[in-house]
Every structure is written in C-alpha cells, then in structure tokens.
Amino acid sequence: MSNIDLSAMLIILGVAVVTYTLRVSGLMFSNSLKKEGKVKVFLDYLPATLLLSLVMPTILKEGFLGVIATVCIIFCMYKFKNILLSMSIGMLVVGLGRNFIL
C-alpha cells in the first residue's frame, strides 16, 4: 500500500467515525435532556428551522427564479397538499427558467 492509499483510508475512516458519532450523539444527548419547557420548544422547532436554513441561501442564490419557484411550490402545497406535484412544479419552473429566460 502506497502512502497516498494509506492517507485516503485514514481520511475515509476519520470522516466516517466523526459523522457517525455526530449522528448518534445528537440523539443520545437530546434523550438525556428533560423533555419539557424550553428544551421541548427548542427541539420541536428544530426540524423546520434546520430545513429552512438548508434551503434559504440556495433559493436566494437562484435569484428571482428561485423566489417564483418557491411561491409556486407553496401555492401548490396549499391547494393540493401533494409533495410530488409540488416538487415537479418547482423543478419545471427552474428548468424552464434556466433554459429559456436566462
């Protein structure tokens, strides 16, 4: 095994161990907390705030097109409550916009 192969294996192993530890320790940590009051509110809000933080910069980077697509998706969810349909509309708006407008 050459040096580069060994380094590669160390990187893969290192990142794998850290990532798995993060996944498990988050769950274990929240399990050890008392699930009432402030902690409950914090954890209850976590899924939505995480998702929002994940997508907001991406939407804005897409510019006007991203905002239009987001409005269409929200309207579609409100009207039909169908995630697959909303996803298709979002992709359609962005796909068409990138090819024909920009």
Partner 1 sequence: MKNDFKNGFMANIPIGFSVAAYGSVCGMLSSQSGIELYEMILMNVFIFAGTSQFLIIDMWSNTLDVIGIILAASMINLRYFLIGASLNSLFTKSSKTEKFAYMHLVADENWAVTMGRLRNQEITPLFLFGGGVCLLFVWNISTITGYILGEFISDPSKYGLDFAFVSIFISLIFTMYKGKTNLFPWLVAAIVSVVSEAIFPGKLYIVLGAIAGSLSAVLAHKGTK
**By the rule CB under 8 A, 67 interacts with partner 1:** no
What is the Cα–Cα distance from 37 to 55, expressed in whole angstroms? 28
Q: Is 100 in the site for partner 1 (CB under 8 A)?
A: no
Binding mask 43-62 for partner 1 (x = CB under 8 A): xxxxxxxxxxxxxxxxxx-x
Query: How many of the other CB atoms lie within 10 Å of CB of 69?
Result: 21
Is residue 63 part of the contact set for partner 1 (CB under 8 A)?
no
Q: Shortest gap between Cβ of 32 and partner 1 (angstroms)?
A: 10
For residues 40 and 46, give the distance between their C-alpha atoms in angstroms, rounded to a whole number: 10
Cα end-to-end distance, the chain, whole Å? 50
26, 63, 67, 79: which one binds partner 1 (CB under 8 A):
26
Question: What are the distances in angstroms from CA 55 to CA 11, 14, 41, 89, 91?
Answer: 28, 28, 22, 17, 14
Task: Note the residues at the interface with partner 1 (CB under 8 A).
Answer: 4, 7-8, 10-16, 18-20, 22-31, 35, 38, 41-60, 62, 66, 69-70, 73-74, 77-78, 83-84, 86-87, 89-96, 98-99
